[in-house]
A and B are shown apart, each in its own frame.
Chain A
Amino acid sequence: EIVMTQSPATLSVSPGEKATLSCRASQGVTSNLAWYQQKTGQAPRLLISSASTRATGIPARFSGSGYGTEFTLTISSLQSEDFALYYCQQYNNWPLTFGGGTKVEIK
């Protein structure tokens, strides 16, 4: 099983600042990596697939990068609606696995 490790667990950021979230895979997953956003009481929402492709309707302030084992989600200028939980997920190998999540909170 590929273990996905996200860091940090919690990120405190002021509105308007940049947030950088990391996701590491225990073995290579090529670019088969997705990022999801989850707000309290809501279902997850796809942000990024194939490591760097924004989903339909996702603002350009969200960007993804990386390949193999190291991946990054960057939010260029945090808006109030961006404070949430973020999960990475690999879909290169069975079983599909998620990271433990990064909570982005208001500083």
Chain B
Amino acid sequence: EVQLLESGGGLVQPGGSLRLSCAASGFTFSAYAMGWVRQAPGKGLEWVSAITGTGSATDHADSVKGRFTISRDSSQNTVYLQMNNLRADDTAVYYCAKRSAESYGHFDSWGQGTLVTVSS
């Protein structure tokens, strides 16, 4: 059974940083791309970042480009999202999700999410 467990969320001041982690189990970690999707309070889903199974390629939404960085550690079966220069509009639940193939595809499994609140 695929399990994705996010951690690292919390309250941070504008301009601050956080690193989210997503511990994965139940599948061959390096064989699948991973991503982060966020949901602001009362709003819809917004894709944030993605990384291929090997970690050789990443992509980020324009809204976070230059501030967020996705990475993965195959020795720990963990995906990370380093978030810098946080803004109030980054406040959201951040979901880690597994993609259906090594470098593309839909999201076939989701974690329960971790809440990030950016406020002074």
Contacts and interface: CB of A to CB of B under 8 A. Distances in A.
A101 B45 CA distance: 9
Chain A interface main SS type: loop
Interface stretch (B70-78, B81-89, B106-114): B106-114
Nearest to B4: A43
Contacts of B50: 96
Chain B interface main SS type: strand
Interface of B: 35, 37, 44-47, 50, 59, 61-62, 95, 100, 104-113
26 contacts: A32-B106, A34-B106, A42-B112, A43-B95, A43-B111, A44-B37, A44-B95, A45-B110, A46-B107, A46-B108, A46-B109, A46-B110, A49-B100, A49-B106, A87-B45, A89-B47, A89-B106, A89-B107, A91-B104, A91-B105, A96-B35, A96-B50, A97-B47, A98-B45, A98-B46, A101-B44
